[in-house]
């Protein structure tokens, strides 16, 4: 596996790899998100007690689980950057942080908009909501550290340490609804065995979830390319690339 | 792996394990403060592990299921009272279960119904006829993680009708608050 991964430690190879990946990912994103959102927001049946308000589930749940998923990916990148000193791993972590922060914010905002009509309150300091808010602050801290140092290696190291310290928050968010009593309900779809949803509600969710995951990968790919170019701007291959695009 | 990387791996690994252990212990020690509410049985018998009990006059949150048949609404005003019992699986209501009565004046959340999970915030008091009770200033609905189309829910014997209010009841709120 290492032999296969090795060439991608080279920024130029990685850059061209994302180039090849992007059109496919973008096309799949459009397909899955269109099918998923239209199905979920227009055709899926309404819930027996929440009515149409339930449809915010299809945005809230993918955003919330991706906010945690991106953090785990960022932590893996930070870990490999600290141990193996891969410069590209730092670049990818810096590319992921703002995307993760945006999805955390989406999860919090859609959650508040859902909580007001259903629970009766925008916000409550229960374990699930509070730990998700802490996740947002962790992302903001990581972004700040990435931009706080002139030297990108030093910035990557500082942000990486914060990322790894904060990774402990991920299982806390995930299991908060089981370890403590909270206003937030338990997990619907990631339950082992049978999900607590009928199939005609679950299928649009699967499409939405895959669609949002693809959207995240597209945005991260784009940001990762920019990070690579910005960090390697003095290299001859980047100069060549710039010249080619300006000649056109 | 060369020795330098091995050393870094050991350092990063031990920091991670250290943080894991520390935060695990902190969360374990704080677990009762992290709980959002007391269950009815915790109010009458105390928390399972420490026996911590709320005292009369203390402001607490209570969480439980609305006991079917216990909801009493005043036809003239927004006053409502209902009893809460522990949320246990499977859901069965027995008269011997510890129950706490909640008194509240205000509009109930749309998801309020008999058998629904409720979190209420208020003062613990002792009412002579009903025993321990909560005078709530806020009532929130805690729905479960099950979603169903209406037809399926009906087949499973689940139905939801939200509470309706007469002109008179809503009128009483206006006169009270202004």
Q: How far apart are CA B5 and CA A203, in angstroms?
A: 45
Q: How far apart are CA A51 and CA A61, in angstroms?
A: 17
Contacts of A54 in chain B (CB under 8 A): 147
Q: Tell me whether A124 touches chain B (CB under 8 Å).
A: yes
* Per-residue pLDDT at A207: 94
By Cβ distance, the residue of B36, B143, B152 closest to A181 is: B36
Q: How far apart are CA B44 and CA B55, in angstroms?
A: 10
Sign of CA dihedral B141, B145, B151, B157: negative
By Cβ distance, the residue of A168, A183, A196 closest to B20 is: A168
Local structure of residue A127 (DSSP, 8 states): H
> Any idea which of A71-80, B86-95, B144-153 has the lowest mean pLDDT?
B86-95
Q: pLDDT tens across A93-146, in order?
A: 999 999 999 999 999 999 999 999 999 899 999 999 999 999 999 999 999 999
Q: pLDDT tens across A164-174, in order?
A: 999 999 999 99
Taking an 8 Å cut-off on Cβ atoms, the answer to whether B149 and A46 are in contact is yes
Taking an 8 Å cut-off on Cβ atoms, the answer to whether A54 and B147 are in contact is yes
Taking an 8 Å cut-off on Cβ atoms, the answer to whether A49 and B31 are in contact is no
Contacts of B114 in chain A (CB under 8 A): none
By Cβ distance, the residue of A83, A119, A197 closest to B140 is: A119
Work out the angle between the directed axes of helices B3-34 and A169-179 (0-180°, nearest 10).
Answer: 30
Q: Enter the tokens of residue A130.
A: 């509070």
Q: pLDDT tens across A8-26, in order?
A: 778 888 888 998 999 999 9
- State residue A233 phi and psi, 5-degree precision: -60, -20
CB B77 within 8 A of CB B172: yes
Residue B119 pLDDT class (50, 70, 90 cuts): very high
Q: Which residues of B touch A (CB under 8 A)?
A: 5, 8-9, 12, 15-16, 19-20, 23, 27, 31, 34-37, 39, 63, 109-111, 113, 119, 138-154, 158-160
The number of beta carbons lying within 10 Å of the beta carbon of residue A9 is 13
Does residue B89 carry a pLDDT above 80?
no
Does residue B13 carry a pLDDT above 60?
yes
Question: How far is Cα of residue A235 from the mean position of the Cα atoms in its chain?
Answer: 30
Does residue A79 carry a pLDDT above 60?
yes
Nearest alpha carbon to residue A188 among A179, A171, A170, A201: A201
Top mean pLDDT of A65-74, B64-73, B127-136 is at: A65-74
The number of beta carbons lying within 10 Å of the beta carbon of residue B177 is 7
Chain B nearest C-alpha distance from A115 (Å): 9
By Cβ distance, the residue of A119, A182, A187 closest to B109 is: A119
Q: Tell me whether A127 touches chain B (CB under 8 Å).
A: yes
CB A45 within 8 A of CB B154: no
CB A105 within 8 A of CB A191: no
Residue A59 pLDDT class (50, 70, 90 cuts): very high
Residue B178 pLDDT class (50, 70, 90 cuts): very low
Q: Closest-CA residue in chain A for B22?
A: A168
Taking an 8 Å cut-off on Cβ atoms, the answer to whether A185 and B139 are in contact is no
User: To probe the interface with B, which of A55, A64, A83 has the most B CB atoms within 10 Å?
Assistant: A83
Q: Enter the tokens of residue B64.
A: 């439980």
User: To probe the interface with B, which of A45, A49, A204 has the most B CB atoms within 10 Å?
Assistant: A49
Interface predicted TM-score (ipTM) of this complex, two decimals:
0.84
Does residue A7 carry a pLDDT above 90?
no
Q: Enter the tokens of residue B74.
A: 């005043």
Taking an 8 Å cut-off on Cβ atoms, the answer to whether B146 and A164 are in contact is no
Residue B160 pLDDT class (50, 70, 90 cuts): confident
Taking an 8 Å cut-off on Cβ atoms, the answer to whether A168 and B19 are in contact is yes
Contacts of A118 in chain B (CB under 8 A): 109-111, 141, 143
């Amino acid at each position: 596996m290492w032999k296969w991964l090795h060439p991608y430690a080279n920024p130029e190879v990685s850059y061209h790899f994302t180039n090849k990946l992007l059109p496919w990912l973008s096309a799949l994103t459009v397909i899955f998100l269109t099918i998923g959102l239209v199905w979920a927001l227009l055709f899926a049946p309404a819930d027996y007690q929440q009515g149409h308000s339930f449809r915010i589930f299809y945005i809230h749940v993918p955003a919330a689980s991706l906010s945690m998923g991106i953090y785990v990916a960022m932590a893996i990148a930070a870990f490999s950057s600290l141990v193996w000193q891969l410069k590209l791993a730092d670049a990818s972590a810096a590319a992921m942080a703002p995307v993760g922060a945006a999805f955390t914010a989406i999860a919090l905002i859609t959650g508040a908009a859902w909580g007001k009509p259903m629970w009766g309150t925008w916000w409550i300091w229960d374990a699930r909501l509070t730990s998700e808010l802490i996740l947002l602050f962790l992302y903001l801290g990581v972004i700040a550290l990435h931009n706080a140092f002139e030297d990108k290696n030093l910035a990557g190291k500082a942000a990486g340490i914060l990322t790894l310290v904060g990774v402990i928050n991920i299982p806390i968010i995930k299991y908060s609804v089981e370890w403590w009593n909270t206003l937030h309900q338990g997990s619907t779809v990631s339950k082992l065995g049978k999900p607590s949803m009928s199939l005609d509600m679950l299928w649009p969710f699967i499409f939405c979830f895959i669609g949002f995951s693809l959207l995240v990968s597209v945005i991260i790919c784009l940001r990762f390319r920019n990070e690579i170019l910005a960090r390697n701007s003095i290299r001859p291959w980047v100069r060549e690339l710039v010249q080619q695009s300006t000649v056109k | 792996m060369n020795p330098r990387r091995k050393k870094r791996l050991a350092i990063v690994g031990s920091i991670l394990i250290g943080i894991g252990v520390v935060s695990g212990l902190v969360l374990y020690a704080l677990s009762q403060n992290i709980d959002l509410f007391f269950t009815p049985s915790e109010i009458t018998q105390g928390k399972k592990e420490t026996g911590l009990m709320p005292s009369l006059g203390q402001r607490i949150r209570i969480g439980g299921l609305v006991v079917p048949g216990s909801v009493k609404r005043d036809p003239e005003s927004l006053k409502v009272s209902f009893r809460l019992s522990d949320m246990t699986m499977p859901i069965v209501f027995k008269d011997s279960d510890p129950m706490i009565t909640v008194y509240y004046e205000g509009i109930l959340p749309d998801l309020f119904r008999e058998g629904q999970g409720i979190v209420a915030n208020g003062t613990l008091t002792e009412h002579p006829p009903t025993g321990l009770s909560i005078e709530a200033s806020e009532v929130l609905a805690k729905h479960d993680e099950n979603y169903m189309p209406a037809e399926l829910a009906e087949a499973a014997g689940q139905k939801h009708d939200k509470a309706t209010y007469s002109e008179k009841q809503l009128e009483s709120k206006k006169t009270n608050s202004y």
